[in-house]
Amino acid sequence: MEDSKLKTQKPQKTSRYLPPAVRIFALGGLGEIGKNMYGIEYKNEIILIDAGLKFPDAHMNGVDYIIPNITYLLDKPQKIKALFLTHGHEDHIGAIPYLLRHLSFPIYGGALTIGLVKAKLEEHKLTNSVDVHIIQDHERVSFQHLSVHFFRTIHSIPDAFGIVVDTPYGSIVHTGDFKFDMTPEGKTADLHKMMQLGEKGVLALLSDSTNSEREGQSLSERTVSKSVLELIQQCEGRILFATFASNVHRLQQVIHAASECNRRILILGRSMEKIFSIGQELGHLNIPQGMLMDMKEIHTVPHHQVIILCTGSQGEPNAALTRIAAGSHRHVQIFPGDTVVFSSSPIPGNVIQVNRSIDMLMRSGAAVLYGAEYEIHTSGHGSREDLKLMILTMRPKYFIPIHGEYRMLVSHQKLAEQVGIPSNRIFVLNNGEPLLITKYHARKGRNLPSRSSFVIRGKVESHEPELIDERNRLAKDGVLIAALVLNHETCQMISGPDLFSRGFVYIRDASELMKTAESHLKSALYGLEQKKEARCIIWEHKISEVLQNFFYSQLQRTPVIFSSIHSVSHPNQVRTTKQ
């Protein structure tokens, strides 16, 4: 079969005469930022790579987290051999506790990654039931048909790895989140092994697309380290330094600068405290004795000797800096002369919250430093030149852009074409859309279940969107309840209809409107009384129809309408048919 026909070929039914295919699929991470989860399946074995979560958008009322839909895996739990983790960010490990409620598998990852996973499992009381392993650079984990090995990469968190899955048809490489940094903080990337993989031959490359629209190369951590030191040297008052808690390199840079400038550090934020504990235990953070402050010292140590290292760089509602900016933190307030540093770039969707925090901090008298001009943050994701280098190094037969919104995947696709990958060997997939690869060809397969699941108050809820849609409408339009009492035998209204509103109109200003609506509804229901209509569902439909038409004619909008109809047979008996 010609390569030009591969991408348009329709999925076919599996035949006993066709060779078994390697199935590559994503349950999250394609067409979105977050909840990364990928699978590689061959015969009776499935290798999982990452299991992350995504934080909800502002319109997802009541949702704590969004996680991958694992329906496909629930149908074949015996096939799952292990979960391999590229690194320890929440969008790659955050869903693990929720998956382990339904599935059982060993977990492999770098030392810091496993440390973060263990802490997460302890929170969910799952430590005794999970088998975890710390991987080494040149380790290989083998199964009957598939084997897995690793190569070290550079990211914004230590112990980041690319993952190689060897299959009967060749090696599948998952880059993880990466960039090329020739002057990194910490260990360097294993360029030698990457080159060896490319020379041997890579069947398929799954590569990080986050910065595929950004020209050039990502800023080196060594440059950021210098900028952080210079900035802290220039500040005269107290410094509040906000960054991602997981950015251990940045934390160490602040520790070094604090030591150079004779400052002490106060840690604020639960996740920041956790990463300090784990990072120090594993040797990723080197903290001079006596540098860390207790909260009780905040009012006794001179301001020019203090750095408050805190969460909240993304404007998260409950993060330390957000509460400080709003004036609601119990112990820390902003004083004129304070300098607040945002060492981060806003994640898509967080820009409004971040700007709100910056405004409040400035109103309180703080100087706020943010943006690329200060060179106090660099992305952990490679820009276009980094991505080109990865493709040229690996020289894959097939290329699959992953980890990014759809436009990022398409941008990465075009980049791959520029460096020589034939367009018919590049597959831009959706979540749940598998790629089937054999010795001779590749084609898309039938879609797997892929709608997201929601974590609501700690419980995993249905992945159907109707619940969120209803909550959004309730929040947007408000609620109107029509209550009335019927004589069950005569079908006459004994009382009502009475209207009660929440979040629709302000009752004090709309009392006349509500009285008019009640009168209008009562007149409209007169016909049902005359027909002696006893079926409450007919009354409910009529109530909804009348009120929707009335309020739309008056206000050009309608609330969510509920009916509360009580049917009374005799004075001592009340039957509630709907509330």
All residues at 6 or more sequence positions from 84 whose CB lies less than 8 Å from its CB, including other chains: 47, 48, 49, 50, 107, 108, 109, 135, 141, 148, 163
Token reading at 443: 């084609």
pLDDT at 39: 98
Whether residue 97 is preceded by a cis peptide bond, meaning omega within 30 degrees of 0, is: no
Residue type present at position 522: K
pLDDT of residue 528: 78
Tens digit of each residue's pLDDT (9 = 90 or more) over 218-261: 889 999 999 999 999 999 999 999 999 999 999 999 999 999 99
Nearest Cα neighbor of 40 from 165, 224, 131 is 165
Q: If you ran DSSP here, which 8-state letter would residue 60 be given? A: S
Structural domains in the chain plus CATH codes = 22-216+379-466 (3.60.15.10), 221-373 (3.40.50.10710), 478-578 (3.10.20.580)
Burial category of 181 from C-beta neighbours within 10 Å (exposed 0-12, middle 13-18, buried 19 and up)? buried
Residue 566, beta-bridge partner list: 485, 576
Tell me, what's the pLDDT at 464?
Answer: 63
Beta-ladder partners of 231: none
Torsion of Cα atoms, 258 then 264 then 266 then 267, to 10°: 40
Catalytic residues: 208, 381
User: Residue 325: which residues within 8 A CB-CB, separation 6 or more?
Assistant: 312, 334, 356, 357, 360, 361, 364
217 contacts: CB under 8 Å, gap ≥ 6: 179, 180, 382, 383, 385, 386
d(CA 507, CA 354): 35
DSSP annotation of 292 reads B
Give one DSSP letter per residue of 343-361, joined into a string: -S-PPTT-HHHHHHHHHHH
Which parts of the chain register pLDDT below 70?
1-17, 348, 463-464, 533-534, 570-579
